[in-house]
């Protein structure tokens, strides 16, 4: 958290319960007899949701200042670039 800020403790057990429920949901979806594309899309959505819960509440990014948020998300565009770079090099 940015120094000097104050806020009440979030409901950490609530976040934990959310993560557990989303994980159970993932397990249910992964083995449904649906199209692979639909399952992949849902699973990635659930994983991003869980990752955001961890980053925002457990890593406290929700209460950080804008500079720290920029620090946190700065590698993401670079991550996209590295994946695109590898794809363009790959020959199927």
In the list 8, 34, 38, 62, the residue contacting other proteins (rule: CB under 8 A) is: 8
Site for other proteins in 13-42 (CB under 8 A): 13, 15-16, 19-20, 23, 26-27, 30-31, 39-40
In the list 25, 32, 34, 67, the residue contacting other proteins (rule: CB under 8 A) is: 67
- How many Å apart are CA 1 and CA 62, to the nearest integer? 8
The reply to whether 68 sits near other proteins by the rule CB under 8 A is yes
The reply to whether 2 sits near other proteins by the rule CB under 8 A is yes
- How many Å apart are CA 19 and CA 4, to the nearest integer? 29
Residue 46 half-sphere exposure toward CB, CA atoms < 13 A: 19
**Which tokens in the block code for residue 87?**
């794809």
């Amino acid at each position: 958290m940015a120094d000097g800020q104050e806020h009440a403790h979030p409901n950490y057990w609530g976040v934990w319960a959310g993560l557990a429920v989303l994980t159970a949901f993932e397990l249910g979806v992964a083995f449904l007899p649906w199209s692979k594309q639909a399952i992949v899309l849902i699973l990635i959505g659930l994983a991003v949701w869980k990752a955001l819960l961890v980053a925002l509440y457990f890593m406290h990014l929700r209460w950080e200042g804008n500079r720290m948020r920029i620090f946190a998300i700065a590698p993401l565009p670079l991550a996209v670039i590295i994946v695109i770079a590898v794809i363009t090099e790959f020959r199927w």
